[in-house]
């Protein structure tokens, strides 16, 4: 059994396109598309494998987009030729698609996320059974990505309550994020924008983010809150400490997958027995490495290794 398990309830077939410029009312010719298996947990698994840690990934898959995504996932192997163990739940609906368009002239990036499927109670129960089975001997379970239609907000709490001796990391959004904060998970990772939506305020400065994080931790039922602040790095808060980790400055090519790469780095660090600051530092190096690649391409291990010494705590 893998020591890291990921759950992606709303995976996607990611399509990345390059164009000269995005202009209205004109046909826009694109370069050949790039296709990748996507969605939070799948991206986390792919990055973990690039960092040398195989995972077991659980995901519902349906329709032609899902089959193409699954074939890409199976073909996405580590340098030693191994692939992750995939536990796939077949569903009636079609796996969603996500399109990223990069305009070369402006450098602007446009993201179009198509609606995902609605999971039936039986399909949700099958996903739950698979992840519980996969997590029986794991050290870390990562629940990442949006929740599809049909999944109630208390799903994460119910899952965490049935696990023992397994750290749960959650990276989600919306009402599921608020629910995750009272779920008993080990670590939850919102972005600063998502944190602002929880406290219903604009978080302009790092002091604003830190204050909001402490406000959340006052009522949350988790051990660690890690708030990503884009190019700035992250702020982490526990009941005992607060620390700030700064990311190295790099030239951003695409921000797609940066958050998932950060979560993967944290999971790998914790799995390897690093203390929390060093695990978060590995996450920041992984997220920073992801923005060096185009479109939906994820980080490269060589970039992570090069950037990690440049992550500073203060």
Q: Which of 274, 268, 261 is nearest to 313 (CA)?
A: 274
d(CA 309, CA 130) in angstroms, rounded, equals: 38
Q: What b/e sequence results for 20-40 when a residue is b if at least 16 CB atoms lie within 10 Å of its CB, and e otherwise?
A: eeeeeeeeeeeeeeebbbbbb
pLDDT on residue 297: 78
Which residue in this structure is represented by tokens 């799995």? 271
Burial of 108 (0-12, 13-18, 19+ CB in 10 A): exposed
pLDDT on residue 82: 58
Q: What percent of the chain has pLDDT over 70?
A: 97
d(CA 172, CA 178) in angstroms, rounded, equals: 9
DSSP one-letter string for 73-138: HHH---TTS---EEEEEE-SSPPEEEEEEEETTT--EEEEE---PBPPHHHHHHHHHHHHHHGGG-
> Which of helix, strand or coil describes residue 217?
helix
Q: What is the pTM of this model?
A: 0.93
pLDDT on residue 227: 97
According to DSSP, the β-strands at 85-90 and 55-61 are: parallel
Those residues whose C-beta lies under 8 Å from the C-beta of residue 30, and which sit 6 or more positions away, are: 17, 18, 19, 101
d(CA 226, CA 224) in angstroms, rounded, equals: 6
Give me the average pLDDT of each 10-residue run along the chain (314 residues): 87 94 91 93 93 93 95 76 80 96 90 93 97 90 95 95 92 95 97 92 90 96 95 93 93 84 96 96 96 83 96 89
pLDDT on residue 302: 94
243 within 8 A of 25, measured Cβ to Cβ: no
Those residues whose C-beta lies under 8 Å from the C-beta of residue 262, and which sit 6 or more positions away, are: 189, 228, 234, 283, 284, 286, 287, 290
The DSSP output letter for 292 is T
35-84 pLDDT, tens per residue?
999 999 999 999 999 999 989 999 999 999 999 999 998 887 666 555 66
d(CA 258, CA 127) in angstroms, rounded, equals: 26
Q: Which positions are catalytic?
A: 260
d(CA 261, CA 49) in angstroms, rounded, equals: 11
d(CA 61, CA 12) in angstroms, rounded, equals: 9
Report how many helices (DSSP H) and strands (DSSP E) the chain contains, helices first. 10, 14
pLDDT on residue 2: 60
Mean of the per-residue pLDDT values of the chain? 92
Domains of the chain: 4-10+38-95+118-313 (3.40.1190.20)
pLDDT on residue 1: 47
d(CA 311, CA 27) in angstroms, rounded, equals: 43
């Amino acid at each position: 059994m893998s020591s890291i398990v990921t759950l992606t309830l709303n995976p996607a077939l990611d399509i990345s396109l390059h164009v000269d410029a995005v202009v209205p009312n004109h046909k826009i010719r694109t370069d050949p598309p790039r296709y990748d298996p996507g969605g939070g947990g799948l991206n986390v698994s792919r990055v973990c494998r690039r960092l040398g840690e195989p995972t077991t990934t659980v995901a519902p898959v349906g329709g032609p987009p899902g089959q193409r995504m699954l074939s890409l996932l199976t073909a996405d192997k580590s340098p030693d030729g191994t692939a992750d163990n995939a536990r796939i739940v077949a569903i009636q609906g079609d796996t969603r698609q996500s399109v990223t368009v990069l305009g070369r002239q402006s450098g602007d990036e446009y993201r179009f996320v198509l609606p995902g499927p609605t999971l039936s109670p039986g399909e949700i129960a099958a996903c739950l059974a698979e992840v519980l089975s996969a997590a029986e001997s794991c050290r870390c379970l990562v629940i990442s990505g949006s929740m599809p239609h049909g999944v109630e907000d208390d799903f994460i709490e119910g899952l965490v309550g049935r696990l023992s001796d397994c750290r749960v990391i959650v990276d989600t959004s919306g009402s599921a994020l608020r629910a995750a904060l009272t779920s008993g998970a080990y670590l939850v990772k919102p972005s600063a924008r998502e944190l602002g939506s929880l406290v219903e305020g604009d978080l302009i400065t790092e002091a604003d983010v830190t204050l909001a994080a402490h406000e959340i931790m006052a009522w949350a039922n988790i051990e660690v809150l890690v708030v990503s602040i884009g190019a700035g790095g992250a702020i982490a808060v526990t009941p005992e400490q607060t620390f700030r980790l700064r990311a190295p400055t790099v030239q951003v090519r695409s921000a797609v997958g940066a958050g998932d790469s950060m979560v993967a780095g944290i999971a790998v660090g914790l799995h390897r027995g690093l203390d929390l600051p060093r695990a978060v530092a590995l996450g920041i190096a992984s997220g920073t490495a992801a923005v060096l690649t185009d479109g939906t391409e994820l980080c490269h291990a060589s970039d992570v290794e090069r950037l990690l010494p440049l992550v500073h705590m203060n």
